[in-house]
Amino acid sequence: MGGMERPTSDLPLLVLALDQRGSFAKLFGTEEASASEEDVARMRAAKTLVYRGVAEVAAAVEGAQVGVLTDEEYGAEVLGRARADGRVVAYPVEKSGQQLFDLEFGDETAEHVERWDPDYVKVLVRMNPDDDADDTRGQLDRLRALSEELHDSGRPFLLELLVPASEAQLASVGGDSTAYDRDLRPGLAAQVIHAVQDAGVEPTLWKIEGLETTQAAEQVVAAARRGGRDADCIVLGRDAPQETLDHWLRVAAPVPGFVGFAVGRSIWKEPLEQYLADDDEARLLEVVGQNYLHYVRTYLAAR
């Protein structure tokens, strides 16, 4: 795992998630595929500013590891700065905005990973037991190939799992997404984790959508550690409002097997939108830093 320490309940990994690409471009009124050189330059500068906001408060984080998850397209400077600053670095290799997982760089993935030398290689996967069987099989085949390659090269694997509701599942809770998250998603997530494991895919860390209850968090950890596996979980932010995300962090933090978070838009989306309107760099840096520290303190206090 490079120079980092394995995250634990006593030394959690608290990650600034900054790997958005398609949705990030939309904040700048463009699309990835059609972004001008000026658009790309602005997006790269913005990601660097967001990272600086967290870097400026990192010294205030005690008893935890500060991490950053970002891409090379808009975050190359951030990757370099984070490495130089001694942060834990996670690097995404999936195509952005795809419904089905595939590799951004295809057969050249290993070369890109070697170039950036991250502590974790990350992928985002959307999967539900109700999905088309052929789609699921294809995703699992691609995930297995990557998992085996990372295992052979000794690189920790971070798998971000989203379990979007199927129409039938959402209908079964009266169209209430909160009820889906509370009553159905934990069990569905455990089913998907089992399917991923059974396909020969073995993440080091599972990046998991926030859970409403301690029982649900324990259920997901039990799935991740099924059969004596040596895996842990971190909470993702899902662009949730502060009150919701605070609850998810307070639920997860005291549960053995949860070892941190990876939070992105909940930290930087609103201050970045404000910055694009008023060009107030100092305010962006301050608000991003304070937002990050808020979630750090919420998580650490709840352990």
Q: Model confidence at 214, in pLDDT bands (50, 70, 90)?
A: very high
Percent of the chain with pLDDT strictly greater than 90: 98
What's the rounded mean pLDDT across residues 187-201?
98
| Among candidate residues 230, 291, 225, 233, the one with its CA nearest the CA of residue 260 | 233
At residue 88, does pLDDT exceed 70?
A: yes
CATH label, 13-302, candidates 2.120.10.70, 3.20.20.70, 3.90.550.10, 3.10.20.30? 3.20.20.70
List pLDDT tens digits, range 68-78.
999 999 999 99
Q: What's the pLDDT at 1?
A: 42
Helices (H), the chain: 22-27, 37-55, 72-84, 109-116, 133-153, 167-172, 177-179, 185-198, 214-224, 242-252, 265-278, 281-302
Q: What's the pLDDT at 4?
A: 81
Question: Whose structure tokens read 């979980």?
Answer: 233
At residue 247, does pLDDT exceed 60?
A: yes
What's the rounded mean pLDDT across residues 30-47?
97
Q: What's the pLDDT at 2?
A: 44
List pLDDT tens digits, range 173-183.
999 999 999 99
Q: Model confidence at 249, in pLDDT bands (50, 70, 90)?
A: very high
Q: What's the pLDDT at 3?
A: 53
| Among candidate residues 61, 84, 83, 57, the one with its CA nearest the CA of residue 70 | 83
**CA 17, CA 59: separation in Å to the nearest integer?**
18
What's the rounded mean pLDDT across residues 125-129?
98
Question: Whose structure tokens read 């971000």?
Answer: 160
Domain spans in the chain, listed from the N-terminal domain onward: 13-302
Q: What's the pLDDT at 252?
A: 98
List pLDDT tens digits, range 250-302.
999 999 999 999 999 999 999 999 999 999 999 999 999 999 999 999 999 99
At residue 20, does pLDDT exceed 90?
A: yes
